[in-house]
Amino acid sequence: MSRQTVFYDDLKTPIGTLRLATDEVGLAHVGLPHGKHPLPMEDHWRRDKQHVAEAKRQFAAWFAGEIRDFDLPLHPQGTPFQLAVWEALCTIGYAQTASYADLARKIDRPRAVRAVGAANGANPLSIVVPCHRVIGSNGSLTGYGGGLPAKQWLLAHERRHAPIQALELTA
């Protein structure tokens, strides 16, 4: 059985060069510059700017503060548990944070905090599936596949570009 071709290209960003990879279904990987899990550059991977052009455009707009959400077809590969955690990550709003315990409760597995942490760390679609928004229960920054400086930058970037909440005037 032959493997499906994966198309990739690189994008320079304020946190370093990201490697974006897509297959015929959608975005499959976002490789962080200082990631703990480098992307597997296998023989079925091909550099192809055309296949990742829209992902690159949206990432550039996100880093410029022009968009807050991505509108891309996604194709993450994982276990059913990982997919549930990654789906829950997508419910954390822009410039918001949640703890691993919050995510465990959200997927109705309140005792699976460590497993949620492991699934968060295995997220293949960083930034799009916003694992950088997960913090410790005490509010501290916890590990990030791209390193804590990148996580700090991403959270600060979102705070800078978050919509200003309307003030409620009371009479």
Residue 30 C-alpha from the chain's centroid:
8
Is residue 71 within 8 Å of 58, Cβ to Cβ? yes
Which residues are designated catalytic? 131
Give the residue ranges of DSSP H helices in 8-167.
53-63, 80-89, 100-106, 113-121, 148-161
Residues 6+ apart with CB under 8 A from 4: 23, 24, 44
Dihedral sign for Cα 44, 122, 148, 58, please: positive
Nearest to 163 by CA among 74, 68, 79, 28: 68
Which helix (H) or strand (E) segment is 126 a member of? Answer: none
> Dihedral angle at the C-alpha atoms of 161, 141, 153, 123, nearest 10 degrees?
-90
